[in-house]
């Protein structure tokens, strides 16, 4: 075997990258620069540019560079279970090194014709999700949240209730507090036997985040394809991931695209999210991500590109009328819900869902009227009362109900506040469920 070549003359250095002359180097190959892990991002003739994951601070131009002849890998196997790793796949929990099969991360994606159409409903007990935005195994969906919202808590609740075989946490730029929150919660709930964590905290260099999603998904593919398990991948926070991408492209003097993001942002995000799939042998990968917004701005390149890739998005909002956090029924959407609602749930589910949201919108209009000092009609008043009760007893994320009870409860409110005509629901359903 050829011995790896050593180089000791770095020509250029930025905060995130370094360039040196080398031969026989492959694109995207890993290297150690002065002991720090780095990856080839550009080759021009003999000039090789590397992104140094840990940053170049304190690196000298005579640092020793060794090319490893391979792209980043993860050792996959059952010994992943219950463990926490950093962005390189090395243990951070004090446990032993991984012994499984070494697998390249960021591998090829599933042939679309081999995918199966998602069909397994994921129940969370949260009506804002199960009733209005039902999730399906194999789906990819982010929470769009402002930084002050309890997105990690909600995501953890969803993960724990979802009855997945494995939960894989990909933490990017997590605060140490949040990392410990996840870890303790999983321990307390006694689910460590189905958790794998890849965590880059704010204590770590930002570029290490770039490896986290691929690590998490490589582990997910092991359990979903080799073991036919239903795997839930939690990625938080994808905005910080995208920020790391823009750091590298900026240091490489690439012309920035919209919002200073690299021109390839859409492709970069799609490569990750499209790993969500329902596999023919029964396993599945579902991705629930968090994309933090700046003051709710969804026109920014990160949420905007994300929205076009993912199968919907979930917004959290505090309903001021009842003082509870709800999943916003207007802006949230699960694109795959049609595959299961009214099929795996009761037949009236789609129409009840739409009617309730429409009536909730009527209440919002009535509130505007009220704020502008206009008199309310009898209908407006009823809509407002309905909205309050709907938010408090059904939508609020601390309410836990099964879908059947959600539907029953909604019909109770419909019957209490509205006439049949005001519902605009198919007569076959109102005949059956509406009570005078």
Q: Per CB under 8 A, which of residues 235..264 are in contact with another protein? A: 254-258, 262-264
Site residues for another protein, 73-112, by CB under 8 A, read 106-112
**Which lies closer to another protein via its Cβ, residue 42 or residue 183?**
42
Among 79, 165, 243, 304, interactor with another protein by CB under 8 A: 304
Q: Which residues are 318's β-sheet partners?
A: 325
Give the x/- contact pattern for another protein in 311-350, rule: CB under 8 A.
xxx----------------xx-x-xx-xx----------x
The rounded distance, in Å, linking the Cα atoms of 233 and 168 is 5
CB of 230 to another protein, least distance (A): 16
CB of 164 to another protein, least distance (A): 18
The span of 30-38, 166-174, 175-183, 302-310 binding another protein (CB under 8 A) equals: 302-310
The rounded distance, in Å, linking the Cα atoms of 95 and 194 is 16
Among 75, 161, 183, 271, interactor with another protein by CB under 8 A: 271
CB of 309 to another protein, least distance (A): 6
Among 227, 318, 324, 369, interactor with another protein by CB under 8 A: 369
The span of 86-94, 166-174, 286-294, 377-385 binding another protein (CB under 8 A) equals: 377-385
Cis peptide leading into 186, omega within 30 of 0?
no
Give the gyration radius of the chain's Cα atoms: 25
**Which lies closer to another protein via its Cβ, residue 15 or residue 70?**
70
The tokens of 79 are what? 């010994």
Q: Which candidate, 155, 137, 309, places its Cα nearest to that of 229? A: 137
The span of 84-92, 227-235, 353-361, 408-416 binding another protein (CB under 8 A) equals: 353-361
**Which lies closer to another protein via its Cβ, residue 28 or residue 189?**
28
Torsion, Cα of 246, 252, 254, 260 (10° steps): 20
Dihedral pair phi/psi, residue 381, rounded to 5°: -65, -40
DSSP state of 377: P
Among 295, 421, 431, 436, interactor with another protein by CB under 8 A: 421
The rounded distance, in Å, linking the Cα atoms of 226 and 77 is 10
Task: Name the one residue in this structure whose structure tokens are 């007990």.
Answer: 125
The rounded distance, in Å, linking the Cα atoms of 340 and 247 is 41
Site residues for another protein, 168-207, by CB under 8 A, read none
Task: Name the one residue in this structure whose structure tokens are 């159409």.
Answer: 117
CB of 291 to another protein, least distance (A): 13
Give the x/- contact pattern for another protein in 34-73, rule: CB under 8 A.
-------xxxxxx------------------------x--
**Which lies closer to another protein via its Cβ, residue 398 or residue 421?**
421
Does residue 141 contact residue 310 with C-beta atoms inside 8 Å? yes
Site residues for another protein, 106-165, by CB under 8 A, read 106-118, 138-139
Does residue 65 contact residue 6 with C-beta atoms inside 8 Å? yes
Q: Which residues are 333's β-sheet partners?
A: 313
The rounded distance, in Å, linking the Cα atoms of 44 and 436 is 77
The rounded distance, in Å, linking the Cα atoms of 234 and 199 is 11
The rounded distance, in Å, linking the Cα atoms of 417 and 430 is 14
The tokens of 265 are what? 């942002």
**Which lies closer to another protein via its Cβ, residue 140 or residue 166?**
140
Degrees to nearest 5, angle at CA 299 with 297 and 302: 90
CB of 308 to another protein, least distance (A): 5
Cβ neighbours, 10 Å, residue 77: 15
**Which lies closer to another protein via its Cβ, residue 297 or residue 321?**
297
Task: Name the one residue in this structure whose structure tokens are 């892990």.
Answer: 37
CB of 394 to another protein, least distance (A): 17
Binding of another protein by 282 (CB under 8 A):
no
Binding of another protein by 25 (CB under 8 A):
yes
The rounded distance, in Å, linking the Cα atoms of 133 and 135 is 6
Give the total of residues touching another protein (CB under 8 A): 88
Binding of another protein by 299 (CB under 8 A):
yes
Among 4, 6, 28, 203, interactor with another protein by CB under 8 A: 28
The span of 149-157, 301-309, 318-326, 385-393 binding another protein (CB under 8 A) equals: 301-309
Site residues for another protein, 401-420, by CB under 8 A, read 420
């Amino acid at each position: 075997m050829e011995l790896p070549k050593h180089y000791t003359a770095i020509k250029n250095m930025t905060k995130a990258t370094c360039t040196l002359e080398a031969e026989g180097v492959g694109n995207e190959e890993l290297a150690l620069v002065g002991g720090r892990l780095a990856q080839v991002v550009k080759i021009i003739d003999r000039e090789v540019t590397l992104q140094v994951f840990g940053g170049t601070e304190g690196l000298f131009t005579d640092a020793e560079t060794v090319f490893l002849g391979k792209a980043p890998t993860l050792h996959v196997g059952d010994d992943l279970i219950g463990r926490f790793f950093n962005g390189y796949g090395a243990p951070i929990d004090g446990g032993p090194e991984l012994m499984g099969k070494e697998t390249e991360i960021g591998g090829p994606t599933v042939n679309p014709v081999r995918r199966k159409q998602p069909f397994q409903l994921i129940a969370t007990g949260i009506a804002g999700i199960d009733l209005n935005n039902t999730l399906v195994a194999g789906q990819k969906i982010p929470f769009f949240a402002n930084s002050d919202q309890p997105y990690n808590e909600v995501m953890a609740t969803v993960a724990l209730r979802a009855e997945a075989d494995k939960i894989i946490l990909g933490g990017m730029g997590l605060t140490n507090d949040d990392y410990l929150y996840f870890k303790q919660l999983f321990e307390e709930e006694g689910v460590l036997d189905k958790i794998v964590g890849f965590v880059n905290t704010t204590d770590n260099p930002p570029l290490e985040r770039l490896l986290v999603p691929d690590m998490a998904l490589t582990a997910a593919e092991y359990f979903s394809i080799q073991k036919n398990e239903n795997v839930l991948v939690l990625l938080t926070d994808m905005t910080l991931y995208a920020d790391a991408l823009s750091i590298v492209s900026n240091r490489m003097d690439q012309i920035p695209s919209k919002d200073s993001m690299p021109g390839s942002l859409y492709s970069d995000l799609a490569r990750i999210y499209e790993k969500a799939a329902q596999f023919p042998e029964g396993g599945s990968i579902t991705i629930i991500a968090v994309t933090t917004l700046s003051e709710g701005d969804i026109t920014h390149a990160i949420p905007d590109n994300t929205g076009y890739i993912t199968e919907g998005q979930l917004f959290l909002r505090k309903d001021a009328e009842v003082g509870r956090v709800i999943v916003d029924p207007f802006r949230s959407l699960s694109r795959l819900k049609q595959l299961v609602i009214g099929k795996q749930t009761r037949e009236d589910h789609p129409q009840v869902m739409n009617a309730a949201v429409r009536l909730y919108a009527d209440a919002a209009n009535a509130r505007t009227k009220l704020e502008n000092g206009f008199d309310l009609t009898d209908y407006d008043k009823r809509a407002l009362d309905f909205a309050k009760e709907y938010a408090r007893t059904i939508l609020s994320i601390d309410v836990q109900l099964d879908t059947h009870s959600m539907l029953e409860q909604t019909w109770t409110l419909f019957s209490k506040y509205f006439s049949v005509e005001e519902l605009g629901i198919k007569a076959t359903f109102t005949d059956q469920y509406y009570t005078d």
